[in-house]
């Protein structure tokens, strides 16, 4: 309930406290088959007040295509809707590292899945606030029916921040 009170106060204060930040990316699972991949987009706000300029909060949508090439079966390929938090760590004027986590849910042919995805990466500035992103991500899932689906290992993603 507190974010519903605090966020509008920050957004509508006289001095600008946040700016829009979005990203799109695609990735592949790092295993010997390379047959699972992901399409991901995240949109939210980057805080620009001193002391908070490293923080991003938003929502993300991700479509996983698990074993897409070996089986062609999309039934176990969830679409996740998640809350997304990211902390940026400047290395220099053009390079920033980050640590992030996403938490949310998705649906498959088998039922609902809760997902928690920690990740880390680096952004290489291109122009203005835009950057090319390299991200290493993992998935921790809890399936509502059947066994847990933690078989994805790690995913390497390439994206663009705008």
Q: E strands along the chain, which residues?
A: 18-29, 37-47, 55-65, 79-90, 95-108, 111-125, 131-138, 140-143, 154-161
Determine contact, residues 114/141, Cβ cutoff 8 Å. yes
How many percent of the chain have pLDDT more than 90?
Answer: 54
What per-residue confidence (pLDDT) applies to 41?
A: 98
User: 63: closest CA among 115, 130, 123?
Assistant: 115
pLDDT band (50, 70, 90) for residue 111: confident
List pLDDT tens digits, range 30-78.
876 667 889 999 999 999 988 898 999 999 999 988 766 665 555 567 8
Residue 117 has pLDDT above 60, yes or no: yes
| Tokens encoding 122 | 């680096």
Q: What is the pLDDT averaged over residues 143-149? A: 55
CA distance 112 to 108: 6
Centre a 10 Å sphere on the Cβ of residue 62 and count the other Cβ atoms it contains. Answer: 25
CA distance 105 to 17: 29
Which parts of the chain fold into alpha helices (H)?
Answer: 2-11
What per-residue confidence (pLDDT) applies to 140?
A: 85
Domain ranges of the chain: 36-161
């Amino acid at each position: 309930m507190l974010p519903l009170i605090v966020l509008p106060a920050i957004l509508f204060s006289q001095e600008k406290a946040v700016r829009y930040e979005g990203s799109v990316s695609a990735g592949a699972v790092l295993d010997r088959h390379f047959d699972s991949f992901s399409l991901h987009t995240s949109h939210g706000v980057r805080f620009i007040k001193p002391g908070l300029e490293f923080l991003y909060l938003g929502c993300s949508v991700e479509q996983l295509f698990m074993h897409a090439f070996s089986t062609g079966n999309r039934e176990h390929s969830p679409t996740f809707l998640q809350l997304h938090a990211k902390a940026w760590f400047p290395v220099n004027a053009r390079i920033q590292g980050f640590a992030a986590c996403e938490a949310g849910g998705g649906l498959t042919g088998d039922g609902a899945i809760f997902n928690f995805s920690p990740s880390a990466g680096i952004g290489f500035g291109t122009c203005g606030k835009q950057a090319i992103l390299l991200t290493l991500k993992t998935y921790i899932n809890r399936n509502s029916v059947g066994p847990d689906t933690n078989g994805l290992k790690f995913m390497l993603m390439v994206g663009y921040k705008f």
